[in-house]
């Protein structure tokens, strides 16, 4: 397992997470000894960079907010340029339990992209209402497209193997929801193998998920839009090795 | 149509062309952005100098009131310009985004190099 650790980069997108980022970095470092951790500060206005650096992580600071997609692209580029084969994305709010990382990496041996799924049995993470229906519909569409059973397609806890890293470094979607939904479509359309591993999820350290019906409707609409355009985009958009 | 409105139409069209050419001359406008304004200016000039052409074209495409053709063409051109700007904006945003990403990585690399040099320790 330690050989895989050498070649693995943990990427943590962080936007105004000064309260939790240092603790999460320390926890990841303690539970996965020797692994490289890159925190991408997504244009935070607080001390996220300082906190993450003091906890011993590598920190790339974006000059302004780009969203999770932009932050992850920094992670994928950094991984390629510094010889890392695998990238594991972990949220910096402490929601993802790093003990699942070895399992994600082990599954990566037979897949290119492994999702840590929140509803697959472990843990006690719950989402209700329209948001849940949206997630169910998304899951069934994306499962068909990737020819594997996926239950939690919007999970930000995921591991990418070498082929996925090469693809994502160039084409990781930057739009809202693109980073989760469209990334899966890009991966499956590019012939990558996607797998899902159940992971336990802890409640968010701060903030409550929104149950506002208007927000839920907007979420549904944007998810549908992201999905439709991900499917009708020309294949040439995802070619690896071209110029910008 | 009075002489005043005839002259006014021509002057307005000519003014558009003069401004566009001047901006192009000073490199304040790129050719691919100017093309729609040049087309609009030339069309306006033709319609201004020879109002008969406008009436002729209206009859050709079946527009009963020639002025409506003017409105239609004007709105169509404005719409296309707007669309072109949105598309350019998207391209610019994606370039800015790529620059920001590269900058973040470069900054990190410079920092790593600095801290790994022994004379800069501490």
pLDDT in the model for residue A199: 86
Q: Is A74 on the interface with B (CB under 8 A)?
A: yes
The closest of A190, A110, A125 to A157, measured between CA atoms, is: A125
- CA pair distance A128, A196, nearest whole angstrom: 21
Is the pLDDT at B20 greater than 90, yes or no?
yes
Q: Is B103 on the interface with A (CB under 8 A)?
A: yes
Is the pLDDT at A203 greater than 70, yes or no?
no
Q: Is A3 on the interface with B (CB under 8 A)?
A: no
As to burial, measured by CB atoms within 10 angstroms (0-12 exposed, 13-18 middle, 19+ buried), residue A224 is: middle
Q: Is B67 on the interface with A (CB under 8 A)?
A: no
- CA pair distance A11, A43, nearest whole angstrom: 16
Assign domain A2-238 one CATH number from 1.10.3720.10, 1.10.10.10, 3.90.550.10, 3.40.50.300: 3.90.550.10
pLDDT in the model for residue B121: 46
Q: Is B105 on the interface with A (CB under 8 A)?
A: yes
B101 and A73 in contact by Cβ < 8 A?
yes
pLDDT band at residue A106 under the 50/70/90 scheme: very high
Q: Which has more confidence, B84 or A237?
A: B84
Q: Which has more confidence, A176 or A234?
A: A234
B104 and A60 in contact by Cβ < 8 A?
yes
Is the pLDDT at A205 greater than 70, yes or no?
no
Q: Give A74's contacts in chain B (Cβ within 8 Å).
A: 101, 104-105
Contacts for A123 with CB less than 8 Å, ≥ 6 apart: A199, A200, A201, A202
Q: Give A9's contacts in chain B (Cβ within 8 Å).
A: none
Is the pLDDT at A63 greater than 50, yes or no?
yes
pLDDT in the model for residue A207: 47
Is the pLDDT at A187 greater than 80, yes or no?
yes
Q: Which has more confidence, A41 or B118?
A: A41
Is the pLDDT at A35 greater than 50, yes or no?
yes
CB-nearest to A63 from B98, B103, B112 is: B103
A77 and B105 in contact by Cβ < 8 A?
yes
- Residue A99 in tokens: 């003990």
The answer to whether the Cα torsion of A31, A33, A38, A44 is positive or negative is positive
pLDDT in the model for residue A211: 61
Q: Which has more confidence, A82 or A137?
A: A82
- Residue A221 in tokens: 């609409």
- CA pair distance B87, B33, nearest whole angstrom: 12
A174 and B103 in contact by Cβ < 8 A?
no
Dihedral pair phi/psi, residue A128, rounded to 5°: -125, 170
Is the pLDDT at B100 greater than 80, yes or no?
yes
Domains of chain A by residue range:
2-238
Mutate: best of A9, A57, A63, A64, partner B, most B CBs <10 A: A63
Q: Which has more confidence, A205 or A155?
A: A155
pLDDT in the model for residue A209: 52
pLDDT in the model for residue B122: 44
Q: Is A243 on the interface with B (CB under 8 A)?
A: no
CA A31 to chain centre: 19
The stretch A99-112 carries a mean pLDDT of 92
Contacts for A178 with CB less than 8 Å, ≥ 6 apart: A69, A226, A230
For residue A77, what is the nearest residue in chain B, using CA coordinates? Answer: B105
The stretch B80-96 carries a mean pLDDT of 93
Residues A227 and A145: beta-carbon distance below 8 Å: no
Q: Give A66's contacts in chain B (Cβ within 8 Å).
A: 97, 100-101
Q: Give A60's contacts in chain B (Cβ within 8 Å).
A: 104-105, 107-108
- B101/chain A closest Cα distance in angstroms: 5
- Number of structural domains (chain B) is 1
Mean per-residue pLDDT of chain A: 84
Residue A180's H or E segment, with its range, is: none
pLDDT in the model for residue A57: 93
- Residue A194 in tokens: 């996607």
Q: Is A124 on the interface with B (CB under 8 A)?
A: no
Q: Which has more confidence, A224 or B22?
A: B22
Q: What share of chain B has pLDDT > 90, as a percent?
A: 77
pLDDT in the model for residue B82: 94
**Residues, chain A, total?**
244
Instruction: Return the DSSP state at A202.
Output: P
β-partners of residue A114 are A159, A195
Q: What share of chain A has pLDDT > 90, as a percent?
A: 45
Mean per-residue pLDDT of chain B: 90
- CA pair distance A173, A186, nearest whole angstrom: 9
Residue A86's H or E segment, with its range, is: strand A86-89
Region label for A152, one of left (φ > 0), alpha (ψ between -120 and 50) or beta (otherwise): beta
pLDDT band at residue A75 under the 50/70/90 scheme: very high
Highest mean pLDDT among A102-111, A133-142, B25-34 belongs to A102-111
pLDDT band at residue B1 under the 50/70/90 scheme: low
Instruction: Return the DSSP state at B83.
Output: H
Q: Give A58's contacts in chain B (Cβ within 8 Å).
A: 108, 112
Is the pLDDT at A3 greater than 90, yes or no?
no
- A78/chain B closest Cα distance in angstroms: 7
Domain extent for B70: 3-120
């Amino acid at each position: 397992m330690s050989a895989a650790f050498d070649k693995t980069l943990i990427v943590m997108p962080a936007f105004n997470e000064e309260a939790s980022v240092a603790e999460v970095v320390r926890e990841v470092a303690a539970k996965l000894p020797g692994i490289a951790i890159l925190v991408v500060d997504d244009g935070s206005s607080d001390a996220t960079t300082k906190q993450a650096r003091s906890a011993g992580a590598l920190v790339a600071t974006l000059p302004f907010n780009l969203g999770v997609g932009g932050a992850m692209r920094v992670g994928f580029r950094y991984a390629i340029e510094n010889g890392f084969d695998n990238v594991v994305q972990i949220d910096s709010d402490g929601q993802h339990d790093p003990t699942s990382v070895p399992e994600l990496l082990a599954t990566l041996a037979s897949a290119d992209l492994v999702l840590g799924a929140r509803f697959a049995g472990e843990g006690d993470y719950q989402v209700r209402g329209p948001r849940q229906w949206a997630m169910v519909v998304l899951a069934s569409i994306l499962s068909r497209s990737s020819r594997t059973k996926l239950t939690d397609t919007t999970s930000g806890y995921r591991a990418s193997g070498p082929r996925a890293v090469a693809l994502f470094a160039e084409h990781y979607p930057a739009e809202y929801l693109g980073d989760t939904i469209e990334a899966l479509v890009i991966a499956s359309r590019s012939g990558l193998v996607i797998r899902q591993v159940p992971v336990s999820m802890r409640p968010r350290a701060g903030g409550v998920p929104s149950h506002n019906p208007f927000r839920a409707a907007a979420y549904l609409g944007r998810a549908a839009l992201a999905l439709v355009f991900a499917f009708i985009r020309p294949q040439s958009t995802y070619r690896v090795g071209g110029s910008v | 149509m009075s002489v005043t409105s005839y002259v006014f139409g021509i002057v307005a069209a000519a003014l558009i062309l003069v401004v566009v050419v001047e901006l192009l001359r000073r490199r304040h406008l790129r050719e691919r952005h100017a093309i729609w304004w040049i087309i609009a200016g030339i069309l306006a000039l033709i319609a201004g100098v020879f109002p008969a052409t406008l009436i002729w074209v209206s009859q050709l495409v079946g527009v009963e009131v020639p002025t409506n053709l003017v409105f239609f063409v004007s709105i169509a051109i404005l719409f296309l310009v707007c669309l072109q700007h949105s598309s350019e904006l998207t391209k610019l945003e994606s370039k800015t985004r790529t620059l920001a990403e590269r900058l973040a990585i470069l900054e990190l690399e410079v920092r790593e190099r600095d801290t790994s040099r022994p004379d800069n320790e501490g």
